[in-house]
Amino acid sequence: MKTETSETLRNLVKEKYGQIAVQSREVNAASLCGATCGCSTVDYSLMADDYTNLPGYVPDADLGLGCGLPTEFAEIKKGDTVVDLGSGAGNDAFVVRSIVGESGRVIGVDFTQPMIDKARSNAKRLQYDNVEFRLGDIENMPVAEDTADVVVSNCVLNLVPDKKQAFAETFRILKNGGHFSVSDIVLAGNLPEGLVKSAEMYAGCVSGAIQRDTYLSTIADAGFVNIRIQKEKRIEIPKEILAEYLSADAMRKFDHDDVGIFSLTIYAEKPAQCCGPGCCN
């Protein structure tokens, strides 16, 4: 399989998640790409956490696509302006809205039109006038600088080809002294080649992931401080799923090497006196 360009991978993710947007959580859980297109079967619940008992939870907005609960760790306050990156059908945005209250504001950003349509429909039905959803790319967000008190994101940034630019944009839209809490997929060690090269696994949040240390250093290079891991869990992929991508020998090696796929929830702050790239002389 030839190496895809960033644009090819971006279009692949947009196509897959566009399909997911028009289907139920139950259908999406039945296949990795969330569509009945002959894809390999991987249950999204391998990565997703349970939102059902959280205040503000809207079942119609939960497509089961996350890999953590960033809102639980994000230290959001009443009245905050919060930006949700890769907002999908609005799941995290609506939970955030229950925290910021009527005096706060929530902005969701997603690059998939069907997701934006679904999120806006949910917000309209719920009569939420302080939640909005904007179509745009995380690498070039339709959000003004110094807008957000808090940024959240759930299993999305690893799907962005240019993560350096994504974190630079996150830094730009945060107010001085603001912070983010994002849940994302990272790797420890080198995954077997067959797993990494699968385009379907890319759309399912694995092959788009980068090494843990590289991920953390990318955040630091963007100018963030006080970086810390708030939660970590290993993603256990069943052997019958791994067998679709790996040979028997590769599976044995995968089982015994210090290699793994992890969900991390990571917190970081934009300095109160901005000293990141592009904002100090």
**Domain architecture of the chain: domains with CATH:** 6-269 (3.40.50.150)
User: Sign of dihedral through CA atoms 69, 155, 111, 76?
Assistant: positive
The answer for residues whose C-beta is within 8 angstroms of residue 103's C-beta and 6 or more apart is 78, 79
The token pair at 48 is 């997703």
Which residues does the chain have with pLDDT short of 50? 1-3, 21, 29-45, 199, 203, 281
> What pLDDT does residue 234 have?
84
> What pLDDT does residue 7 have?
66
Residue 197, classified by CB atoms within 10 Å of its CB into exposed (0-12), middle (13-18) or buried (19+), is middle
Q: Is residue 99 within 8 Å of 71, Cβ to Cβ?
A: yes
CA angle 52, 54, 58 (to 5 degrees): 60
> What pLDDT does residue 3 have?
42
Per DSSP, the three-state class of 99 is helix
Report d(CA 199, CA 182) in Å as an integer: 24
> What pLDDT does residue 198 have?
61
> What pLDDT does residue 251 have?
78
Report d(CA 194, CA 216) in Å as an integer: 25
Tell me whether strands 260-269 and 225-234 are parallel, antiparallel or unpaired.
Answer: antiparallel
Per DSSP, the three-state class of 199 is helix
Q: What is the Cα Rg of the chain in Å? A: 18
Q: Quick one: how many helices (H) and strands (E) in the chain?
A: 11, 7
> What pLDDT does residue 148 have?
98
Nearest to 156 by CA among 134, 183, 178, 181: 183
Q: Is residue 83 within 8 Å of 151, Cβ to Cβ?
A: yes
Q: What 8-state DSSP symbol labels residue 5?
A: P
List phi, psi (to 5°) of 72: -70, -25
The answer for residues whose C-beta is within 8 angstroms of residue 6's C-beta and 6 or more apart is 161, 162
> What pLDDT does residue 57 have?
75
Report d(CA 110, CA 155) in Å as an integer: 13
